[in-house]
Structure 1
């Protein structure tokens, strides 16, 4: 059998080449190398722009030598330093070699070559120390073994200190010459888009002769990446369509109608539309798989509750899975309060059409847990709300008809499946997220789910003013921020102070990123102590974070909701689900450590009552830094969808998708889930047609193999979380 993309790379290029490739880039098979595409191309005669170089980066540049000298130094002048100055015609760069005086002759003025190394700075001049060097042309007629002069274009690969671009170029040429590659794109799909075949595209992307070739090759591989991912999702949607669920049609005169009649407000047009979409899904005999996303405060919980009540009316049960005990308890309190006597099924004072709503968390007392488990197993509890405790084998539901997963990104597929798989009949699934998701990412990350979106805010929601407080330049503004908190409390209102970590020993354990080159963040412990003895000493302060015992968390939240705490000093545990209408002001310390969408979520905790909200983003970041620019963007709009696009555009592609930070095994090399919406939509449509015709891909072995490879990557692990 010949060499294929699945062949071990070591068997083709040898240990000497394969070992550094594996160490630097995680390459194990031939396909890993073939899919390591050049990041740019340099035409012979076109020198690199040296002004773009950054200190600390590993760079490969094409430049012309203008000066080459040997300088002696050290005791008795016995050591030699060769300094070579290269230029792009405008800027210059110094190459420094120690004890290699022969370099002066090799790099004579006029020599053009590729130079690679880590960019440093010496005496305010950018330099490469002991760079790798590879000639790209030879005016003296020396043979051109790599064929660069004939091709006229040099590929520049993502490289590392251990493996330079030249070594990658040679290794790719070696495997291209011996590898047989089958095309994962079906012929008709490729032809309809006028895309080159796989072998042609690999030649063009690695060894182009004209810019048009590498551009067409990139277009082809960008589509292929989208197509393989969308094929995975199309197979999942096809498989889900074959599952059988119990139809849960809407029943007139039941608990849902009773609840709807009591609503003290009118649903928005968006809410009514989504309620009807979900009602239609629930009435079908195949499982619903729907993502419900929406703005902060757009009323997702009401929509989900109406879906749960429809299932209860149809004789089934609904389970709501929340990621934290604080959020689970909040849901339980809120839903119970909204239902009133409709949540007192079988109890004294219960309404005619009523059910029970039970909470199940790991910290509950044995007696309370036993009572909740009995109501869940008997069916007396139509709605069961819980955390991971719901997933335990000891939890049995009489007839699970609907699973609602809140903040889906915090759960793995195995956790969701623990409930779904135990059910005799596949339940309907509604996934909720309060983080608006750009359409491109929704198609790529939640591609097996239908999507419903709530953009419109309910009537009466108050605006939230957001201001950046740049204390590096204006330290007095922080004092004014605390004065604003005091003013609000004196008016009978409440406030949040949000910090990024709990104590001195913590390293960003609440989900924030440590920024480089800025002051250490303030801890909750220190901030609480400073405020209690300083600017907020006259107020009643409370503390809330993820490591408090569950009963302590509940007590703090209950006290804050009851108005017994004026200011809640908290971590991001208050990011979602916490609803205290009397809270009107939030101060976020070290705001530059939070993502844009996260800040949008946080500020959604204020302005939920009759008074407008105020969010103050405190930062020590330099005003010209990207971190400060992100805060200005958050302050400039209340549109969470606009912020989600900006946030995604500013983050690394792998971070958007949840891949490992190195991204070494990510399936995405060229496709941008932020920018390539039309490509992804086209690929989704094409993949759906292919899978409908051949669900198992029996007639398309190369595509089947590509799907299998994707499923083996860390990328697939994230896709599975959907």
Structure 2
């Protein structure tokens, strides 16, 4: 709210006080009037319909009837005490019963009078019954009164709140009082031209109607207005951030493509680039010529060729006299990038080095010297790259892999390694649905590699139940006979670690009996074994000394074995979609046909079944991410929890994608004409924007 009143502590609202304020804060996070106003109902009950007693079915959620009280009496003693009443209309008779507040109800119910009754219907001895109904004396005025003629809000509450009579009804009472006292101070925060263009309800009307709608149409309009506002200001913040960065951070200009890039492209690149890779390279090339720091997100499925694009972008930087680096979240991933890039560039083309926590002190010393004198052109490593003692002569481009695993501060340290901030290319193999990318990374330019390199065959995925295990063993033997290797992955979930480990060990025993020595050799890898032992087992598999690797999800990232053609995922129903997709991406790295077998128990939850069917149906990471978003909601997609941006109160990224696009386009159009929001008509926006972002840092990703 623009009015200062809404920042007033909740305890000063009539009917709250210290004790209730304390419990509202603890249970619902409601600290001030604005928090209470934004505690929206999760549904509304239709108070516009009146039922006849004969039409009431006990499975209806709530009903409202008009009936005359014909009888009332108090029955039972002490603990069994209850007030039983009988009402009737022209179609039948219904029983009412109260176990609490008996004295007050008995006093206020008069035999012979008609009442408007509202409550949850039930049945007792085959008769219609209602426990603890709300009741109002029937009159023409009561029929017209808003409470009985509209959609009534239902608010989430807790057992603790109910002890303070702050159930849905109690919260409704507080919000009614709040709107009556402060409703006039809900100021507009969108200019008239936006309200008119998108036919939006005013802000004050929207808040009133989302709580106490005049009718279903007004409720829909109120929700639409508040969703628009939420998504609009989110995009305003992200795009303003982008504008500020462009103004604030100048970038090095890579104005030539020279011998490094050309030599690699024409003589060293072992395959033809896909059209998708060429398109992304062009986008990066244009970015690096503008004199503004590049901030680009590169999305692409496992195996789509992001590393080659990153390498070729770095070669352009080297051609222009700059150094480059790649930062990966784990040593395994950093080593994999190092091996891949070394194999692509060879030994005598450009110097590449690896820096991780395991790098020996004497090697570090040489590496630091070469960095400082500019001799070392490509440095690959973990967060060791951002240590203060790592100094570059002229860092021009930084590639960050799986960036959601790095904090803001870690990323910012990399830019400070050069006077002019280096260009940033962020890579992720976790496909992000477009709407989520626009929200999480709305201040980055997004590139997508959406086709696999030529010659790669799509992985065939099948779902087997436990009764098909022998069939699976037969298939494994056929593949091993062809010289292929196989992964068998077990879930490892913190809460049930002991049980998971037992499953893995039991599975290993079964596999050992089915695939005995000396004909077959098996590696076992899981989180608790010593790093040296893990590395030894990994290397045996990489070298082809073992044909089967039994593992927990430690192999999710960082293992690249082109000869491994089968991925078997045990208890597949226990994995999330994105994790299943990442695991499947461990195979299919060679030219041979690869397979993914999802093993599950017979009984599956509806959600588990959707996940496994989705995996069988498609290899497209973006389709999978969309399904994942619909199943889990945006707050649970990997890496999004920390963003703080997804704390949306009314909008939902799974269903409001079109509205999000509309809001983004609207903000882009505004900034194209008035980037400073300085025109008189945008003053209202500027003020609202400043108020919303007071004290917030701008460096989420930049």
Task: Report whether the alignment pairs 1:487 with 2:490.
Answer: no
Task: Report whether the alignment pairs 1:598 with 2:596.
Answer: no
Distance 1:583 1:158 in 2: 51
Distance 1:523 1:310 in 2: 51
- Counterparts of 1:306-345 in structure 2, within 5 Å, are 306-341=312-347
For the 8 Å contact 2:395–2:418, the answer to whether it is kept is yes
Aligned counterpart, 1:139: 138
- SS for the counterpart of 1:534 is helix
Runs (5+) with no aligned partner, structure 2: 88-93
- SS for the counterpart of 1:389 is helix
Aligned counterpart, 2:226: 221
Distance 1:37 1:536 in 2: 59
Distance 2:587 2:410 in 1: 32
Distance 1:330 1:103 in 2: 75
CA displacement 1:322-351 (0-9 Å, x = unmatched): 11111111111111111113xxxxxxxx2x
For the structure 1 residues 466 and 83, does the alpha-carbon distance in structure 2 shift closer, same or farther, using more than 3 Å as the test?
A: farther
Aligned counterpart, 1:43: 46
1:507 to 495, 517, 521: 495
2:593 to 612, 627, 632: 612
Moved more, 233-242 or 544-553: 544-553
Task: Report whether the alignment pairs 1:158 with 2:138.
Answer: no
Aligned counterpart, 1:421: 416
Aligned counterpart, 1:362: 357
For the structure 1 residues 528 and 315, does the alpha-carbon distance in structure 2 shift closer, same or farther, using more than 3 Å as the test?
A: farther
Aligned counterpart, 1:463: 458
Distance 2:62 2:195 in 1: 35
Task: Report whether the alignment pairs 1:406 with 2:412.
Answer: no
What's the offset of the Cα at 1:648?
0.5
Distance 2:336 2:86 in 1: 66
What's the offset of the Cα at 1:423?
2.2
Task: Report whether the alignment pairs 1:534 with 2:513.
Answer: yes
For the 8 Å contact 1:462–1:608, the answer to whether it is kept is no
For the 8 Å contact 1:72–1:78, the answer to whether it is kept is no
Aligned counterpart, 1:185: 190
What's the offset of the Cα at 1:704?
4.8
Give the superposed CA RMSD.
Answer: 4.1
What's the offset of the Cα at 1:248?
1.9
Aligned counterpart, 2:447: 452
What's the offset of the Cα at 1:645?
1.0
Structure with the largest fraction of helix: 2
For the 8 Å contact 2:259–2:319, the answer to whether it is kept is no
- SS for the counterpart of 1:385 is strand
Task: Report whether the alignment pairs 1:639 with 2:645.
Answer: no
What's the offset of the Cα at 1:709?
4.2
What's the offset of the Cα at 1:701?
6.2
Task: Report whether the alignment pairs 1:684 with 2:664.
Answer: yes
Runs (5+) with no aligned partner, structure 1: 54-59, 87-92, 342-349, 510-518
What's the offset of the Cα at 1:165?
1.9
For the 8 Å contact 1:468–1:616, the answer to whether it is kept is yes
Distance 1:524 1:695 in 2: 60
For the 8 Å contact 2:190–2:684, the answer to whether it is kept is no
How many pairs does the alignment contain? 669
Task: Report whether the alignment pairs 1:212 with 2:187.
Answer: no
Distance 1:485 1:204 in 2: 62
Distance 1:357 1:263 in 2: 17
For the structure 1 residues 11 and 302, does the alpha-carbon distance in structure 2 shift closer, same or farther, using more than 3 Å as the test?
A: same
What's the offset of the Cα at 1:605?
1.3
Distance 1:94 1:404 in 2: 72
Aligned counterpart, 1:200: 205
2:29 to 26, 29, 32: 26
What's the offset of the Cα at 1:176?
1.5
For the structure 1 residues 494 and 705, does the alpha-carbon distance in structure 2 shift closer, same or farther, using more than 3 Å as the test?
A: same
Aligned counterpart, 2:653: 673
Distance 2:653 2:95 in 1: 39
- Counterparts of 1:62-211 in structure 2, within 5 Å, are 62=63, 79-80=80-81, 112-114=117-119, 134-135=134-135, 137-139=136-138, 147-149=146-148, 151-161=149-159, 162=161, 163-179=166-182, 180-211=185-216
For the 8 Å contact 1:358–1:383, the answer to whether it is kept is yes
CA displacement 1:587-608 (0-9 Å, x = unmatched): 1122122221221121111122
- SS for the counterpart of 2:238 is helix
Moved more, 183-192 or 591-600: 183-192
For the 8 Å contact 1:524–1:569, the answer to whether it is kept is no
For the 8 Å contact 2:404–2:639, the answer to whether it is kept is no
What's the offset of the Cα at 1:615?
0.9
Aligned counterpart, 2:238: 233
2:555 to 565, 568, 574: 574
For the 8 Å contact 2:395–2:417, the answer to whether it is kept is no
For the structure 1 residues 247 and 19, does the alpha-carbon distance in structure 2 shift closer, same or farther, using more than 3 Å as the test?
A: same
- SS for the counterpart of 1:720 is coil
Distance 1:94 1:561 in 2: 76
What's the offset of the Cα at 1:237?
0.9
For the 8 Å contact 1:667–1:710, the answer to whether it is kept is no
Aligned counterpart, 2:279: 273
Aligned counterpart, 2:90: none
For the structure 1 residues 3 and 272, does the alpha-carbon distance in structure 2 shift closer, same or farther, using more than 3 Å as the test?
A: closer
What's the offset of the Cα at 1:289?
0.9
CA displacement 1:415-450 (0-9 Å, x = unmatched): 111111332111111111112222111111110111
Distance 1:112 1:501 in 2: 54
Aligned counterpart, 1:90: none
2:302 to 296, 310, 319: 296
- SS for the counterpart of 1:429 is strand
